[in-house]
Amino acid sequence: MREIKDAAIALKNGFLVAFPTETVYGLGADATNSYAVSRIFSIKNRPTNHPLILHIGEIEDLLQWAIEIPDYAFSLAKKYWPGPMTLILKRSNKVKDFVTGSQDTVGIRIPNHEIALSLLNEFKIIGSGAIVAPSANKFGKVSPTNFEHVHEELSKDLSNDDLILNGGQSQIGLESTIIDCTKDLPSVLRPGAISTELINEVIELDLSALPNQIRVSGSFKSHYAPNAKVVLDQTAEAGDGFIALSYVPTPAGAIRLNSPSNVEEFAKYIYADLRKADELKLKRVVVIQPEGSGLAVALRDRLKKASSQ
């Protein structure tokens, strides 16, 4: 596809390419180009000590960008890549300080999206093959899960040579699971669609590990937040936005923003629903959280962060 070849060329020339993944859209740059990477930080208003995730196209590429990779990390990669899982590994000397915020570790993932994978393939032919990409939103705000969100939020900050690729709605809708693979046993730094149950199918998790030992910007208390105040599991009043599974009735006078029929659908559209609340200039959104394990854990994690201001 011409558009993808052009996007790879744009990356090679030091421009930015926002692209779809199965989790959320990313704002991408050549991982080896310090100027391009610095533009990501300034466009997002992101503090430079918040490291970026490196996206690669194939498992064998891992060996270029990470060292001392434990066997269990390879097992996880073989089972869940391409997919919504980021592995934190010791970085190789090809990964520069401007990517990791000077930490000696790097987050790496292979996204499971046709457009992202073709872009990574093309970029491997003509360039470094590694694309660093945070979610394509302003720091602290709601991640974009479709082309229109990225366009609305970032187009005024992008130049004519930067691109936004359209891949429709992201299938999963929540950011990848981040797994620290720098110790004898792995631990989860950010929950996502690769749940602890799925990780345990491959390797036992270290449950004693303290979360947030490494800097994870998503682990800031207030994050993923719309302008509207997000309130969890409380009674909605007239004029409030309201999001809950379809079996939960809408309280009188509340404005129903979505009625997902299961947790997958809830997660897939939650960021779009929160954006809807802002478009409607609502002051409050009440969300009735789904119970249970798996993806519901990740969804509740993001809702908790969206609700703390």
d(CA 152, CA 67): 39
d(CA 153, CA 167): 17
Task: Please tell me whether residue 82 binds ligand TXA under the rule CB under 6 A.
Answer: no
Q: List the structure tokens of 56.
A: 């690669």
* C-alpha closest to that of 43 among 170, 131, 155: 155
Q: Specify the residue, 100 or 118, whose C-beta has the smaller distance to ligand TXA.
A: 100
Phi, psi of 150 (to 5 degrees): -65, -45
Q: List the structure tokens of 127.
A: 């360039």
Q: Which does 103 bind (CB under 5 to 8 A by kind): ligand TXA, Mg ion, none?
A: ligand TXA
Q: Which does 277 bind (CB under 5 to 8 A by kind): ligand TXA, Mg ion, none?
A: none
Phi, psi of 270 (to 5 degrees): -60, -40
**Three-state secondary structure readout of 97-138:** HHHHCCCCEEEEECCCCHHHHHHHHHHHHHCCCCEECCECCC
Candidate residues 105, 135, 187, 258; the one interacting with Mg ion per rule CB under 5 A: 135
Count, residues near ligand TXA per rule CB under 6 A: 28
Candidate residues 30, 61, 153, 175; the one interacting with ligand TXA per rule CB under 6 A: 175
Q: List the structure tokens of 41.
A: 């930080």
Task: Please tell me whether residue 135 binds ligand TXA under the rule CB under 6 A.
Answer: yes
- Spell out, one character per residue from 16 to 35, where the chain touches ligand TXA: x when CB under 6 A holds, - when not: -----x-xx-x---------
Residue-by-residue DSSP string for 30-74: ETT-HHHHHHHHHHHT--TTSPPEEE-SSGGGHHHHEES--HHHH
Task: Please tell me whether residue 52 binds ligand TXA under the rule CB under 6 A.
Answer: yes
180-239: contacts with ligand TXA (CB under 6 A): 189, 214-218
Query: Which residues 6+ apart lie within 8 Å of 52 measured at CB?
Result: 31, 37, 40, 99, 100, 107, 132, 133, 134
103-132: contacts with ligand TXA (CB under 6 A): 103, 105-107, 111
Stretch that binds ligand TXA, among 159-167, 174-182, 279-287, 293-301 (CB under 6 A): 174-182
Stretch that binds Mg ion, among 10-18, 76-84, 128-136, 263-271 (CB under 5 A): 128-136
Task: Please tell me whether residue 51 binds ligand TXA under the rule CB under 6 A.
Answer: yes
Task: Please tell me whether residue 86 binds Mg ion under the rule CB under 5 A.
Answer: no
* Site residues, ligand TXA (CB under 6 A): 21, 23-24, 26, 50-53, 86, 88, 100, 103, 105-107, 111, 133-135, 175-176, 178, 189, 214-218
